[in-house]
Structure 1
């Protein structure tokens, strides 16, 4: 079945400039957060052996939908940039996904839903993907969306700039456009994960007429974006807000319901809790408040605190050891660090039960690919001390074995407290740890551009498939100095590369799962990353807001179907 939408409208122009209210540091945009990248769809859709077509997924129920109203939402921290095709920071993604549509979207069941692509077909050998594109879709400046935009984006943006697409589409050889609404992708090797990587961030589609022939990383439209999505960018007042307005000629008739979205930048976590409680904002995603506040706000009849809508956002937190470091490069030291940390207590005391200890690099939420059969390092202080002794680092006269700096990701109090917990645990076994709280720009530059760190705490996302969200941290060929979230540890193991590369082109579902099981065992034995815990994300929103959770990821829902119920 091919899905089609017959109701369209023309586009209304409208892109205002960025209002600067605070000094802008260029390095924030150059080395901004690169976000965690894509966790587990249905195997049948991942491994096409014959032609398939997208079927229309059920749209959110809107029988009693009420149009109107501006949604005041909180975004934290402030996006480092809106150039989402280079920097996939979660705050960037949350904002830009309302401005741009992807070729497809994904539902809570992780199955694809049409956006700019109405249907797709895959050849039996998996080497040709034919996308039938939506007619009647427009860019926000009034220019029609066509296959030329997809061709330009695939040939230029995906290959050169988009972090996920550069890996997923590495075997893309050509893009043909037989007509204005058909794009044919030809591959040299089958890449079954593609169906899980056609969303707005993994495979971004930019307006060819505004980017072709320009200095793309410095294009002025990067921070005043022109998209095809349900909301038009109007203003970015740095340090204050980002304002979006309804695109009243969106391709889907009657959508969006909201008049606009005002993203408010509230750095202080207590300020965010107060804003939600008082109604200053009506929506916050990805743990916008502390766990104690979440429990308290959940008791209000005016607010909803809910973990739904994060099925594809399977996140985990890890420590990145700099394997170039003469001490952290030793496996026994890394094993000792994990044995020294009581992760059950960390989950209980710092994460309020909104997490669970990780068993490896693949989240247990990603049921298709997950295996618990991996090496484990349970809390055992005596074992940790024995391993450090064996590694040649006995306690000195002052009680310390060696010194380390620990730089926690500056995303809020939970991450600082996690850093403090780790510091105390390591000091208890004789490792003198200095906890450093850097600003986001300095932290990202140190970690991903200069590799100037000892031990870092950070987090990432599995997404629908390990190839999208896990591979980049362990594949030696993914290391890209200066690109956030790509193998900063320096892990390089030929056996791991062999497994990851085999999974990239394996079209047998069971064999591909088995490959990833073998990879998890190897990764957890090598400890290129020290996997600490899995997240259980929650959002907080006004109880009158409807259709919030009909998504695989709050941070990428376009909110075309979200609406406010009339107050009683």
Structure 2
């Protein structure tokens, strides 16, 4: 059944710019299975398949519509997914997955090992995270319909961590065209067919995405909800109003200035649990486009580093919901975080001296450089940080034009057209550095058209060697030291400047239970989630 816009959006919520959902949508919100959960997103997705993009939007749909070969519980312990068991050879070069019997795609066709083989090829070609891990893949053998054997050219310790639905969902081979077609452009990405707990029903751009309960889900008695509606609400202030009115049940896209006030509302709960945010641990960064000649002079990049007051940004723009970081693996990822890296303290005098030394003199109007900055439009704080940076740079004679655009335009400008000087965005670094960090620094991951890849076009053979060695090292202590050395090198080169590591608490209806059951948090499956009056 399809719900049309007129059925979903019936009345304006006065003063909020938000249309409310019909009362019938909430009629089943009682202490039993059933009911409709409304989740908000600030981003209009480009499409709905996380294999072909690591951006928000597909990530929110991924684990609800698709399954991964494995899953993780809230303590980040690996659990069976579409693979009910697996075996890793002693040398780490062969992983054998035994698949679940009787699993069906949402269109009724059987799930088989051919789907896994097809998915693995797509992960390695199209996904910014998958390109890293699956560069080690030699081939996938399918000796029978319920067995898939991954043969690796070298060990890949991040392999299992990559195979949850939030990162690399398994996709249906039969729903994509044959031959050499561009899978990322396939129509099926806009109406995905998965094996997950919820089935895709409808996507009305600019309004909502509707997912319904999969009655034939392999994990019996799940999901517990009847329906999920993902509302596209770019204005995060509107989302706060919608949560308080009950028109939205879950969101992590809330102005951080509102969190403390929302904590006082008895009808709401604020979830700020690091166990449910491992996939979301990351860093807000300023990135330079090294295709522009000026940025090849390291002194200019260092000058930018010295105008950033991280403590000011943490307190005044993130309202305490962030940790300053000067490394791409922030303190929240403690096992690989190196606190001993080159640092660039806030020092406008030093910043101006570096520009003078590089030959950039003030003109008659006091300007040394005129540049652009593109903040990612999926979070209003990114623009606030860009405006802060604009004010700081003006003090040393740099005119920074902050450009406004929607998120799709940002992705196209930075990762496809490459029409940018600098960019500001937040990106996750977990659940393993090989998945979250390599994609931005590995020279082989400069891939125009692939979102959240190496947009700087950074190429340092030493860094490539460190990342590739860390990506195959099975000994934790040796792997840790490789990442420690990597952080020192890249913080010397400064092609990306980490600023803070934000936290994005989830605000939800107090009636919801089992909302966070995995490291994916609000981007998890919601298969166990239900409403309760208690």
Separation in 2, partners of 1:292, 1:158 = 38
Partner SS for 2:52: coil
Structure 1 residue 540 displacement after superposition: 0.6
Partner SS for 1:404: strand
Equivalent in the alignment of 2:19: none
Structure 1 residue 395 displacement after superposition: 2.7
Equivalent in the alignment of 1:100: 66
TM-score w.r.t. the length of structure 1 is 0.86
- Contact kept? 2:128, 2:439, Cα under 8 Å: no
Q: Please identify runs of 4+ aligned residues in structure 1 that moved more than 6 A.
A: 16-21
Partner SS for 1:393: coil
Equivalent in the alignment of 1:131: 97
- Contact kept? 2:467, 2:486, Cα under 8 Å: yes
Q: 1:394-543 residue pairs with structure 2 within 5 A?
A: 394-543=361-510
Structure 1 residue 83 displacement after superposition: 2.8
Partner SS for 1:242: strand
Separation in 2, partners of 1:391, 1:407 = 24
Task: Label 1:65 to 1:148 Cα distance change in 2 as closer, same or farther (>3 A).
Answer: farther
Separation in 1, partners of 2:238, 2:5 = 23
TM-score w.r.t. the length of structure 2 is 0.91
Equivalent in the alignment of 2:107: 141
Aligned pair partner of 1:378 in 345, 349, 352: 345
Structure 1 residue 380 displacement after superposition: 1.1
Task: Label 1:19 to 1:85 Cα distance change in 2 as closer, same or farther (>3 A).
Answer: farther
Equivalent in the alignment of 1:367: 334
Separation in 2, partners of 1:125, 1:232 = 39
Separation in 1, partners of 2:4, 2:86 = 37
Equivalent in the alignment of 1:27: none
Q: Deviations over 1:461-501 (max 9, x none)?
A: 11121111111111111101121111111211111111111
Structure 1 residue 210 displacement after superposition: 2.1
Structure 1 residue 266 displacement after superposition: 1.6
Partner SS for 2:335: coil
Equivalent in the alignment of 2:77: 111
- Contact kept? 1:140, 1:226, Cα under 8 Å: yes
- Contact kept? 1:19, 1:238, Cα under 8 Å: no
Equivalent in the alignment of 1:276: 243
Aligned pair partner of 1:196 in 156, 161, 169: 161
Partner SS for 2:130: helix
Separation in 2, partners of 1:445, 1:220 = 19
Separation in 2, partners of 1:365, 1:291 = 19
Structure 1 residue 245 displacement after superposition: 0.7
Structure 1 residue 87 displacement after superposition: 1.5
Partner SS for 1:233: strand
Partner SS for 1:460: strand
- Higher helix proportion (structure 1 or 2): 2
Separation in 1, partners of 2:75, 2:356 = 49
Partner SS for 1:93: helix
Partner SS for 2:384: helix
Give the RMSD, CA atoms, in angstroms: 2.0
**Which segments of 5 or more consecutive residues in structure 2 lack a partner in the other structure?**
8-29
Structure 1 residue 237 displacement after superposition: 1.2
User: May I ask how many residue pairs the two structures share in their alignment?
Assistant: 508
Task: Label 1:201 to 1:282 Cα distance change in 2 as closer, same or farther (>3 A).
Answer: closer
1:350 aligns with 2:320: no
Separation in 2, partners of 1:174, 1:323 = 35
Deviates more, 1:267-276 or 1:511-520: 267-276
Separation in 2, partners of 1:218, 1:91 = 16
1:164 aligns with 2:129: yes
- Contact kept? 1:244, 1:260, Cα under 8 Å: yes
Q: Deviations over 1:13-44 (max 9, x none)?
A: x8x699899xxxxxxxxxxxxxxxxxxxxxxx
Separation in 1, partners of 2:167, 2:175 = 20
Q: Deviations over 1:331-372 (max 9, x none)?
A: 111111111111110111111111111121101111111110
Separation in 1, partners of 2:98, 2:202 = 33
Equivalent in the alignment of 1:547: 514
**Which segments of 5 or more consecutive residues in structure 1 lack a partner in the other structure?**
1-13, 22-63
Partner SS for 2:302: helix
Structure 1 residue 270 displacement after superposition: 1.8
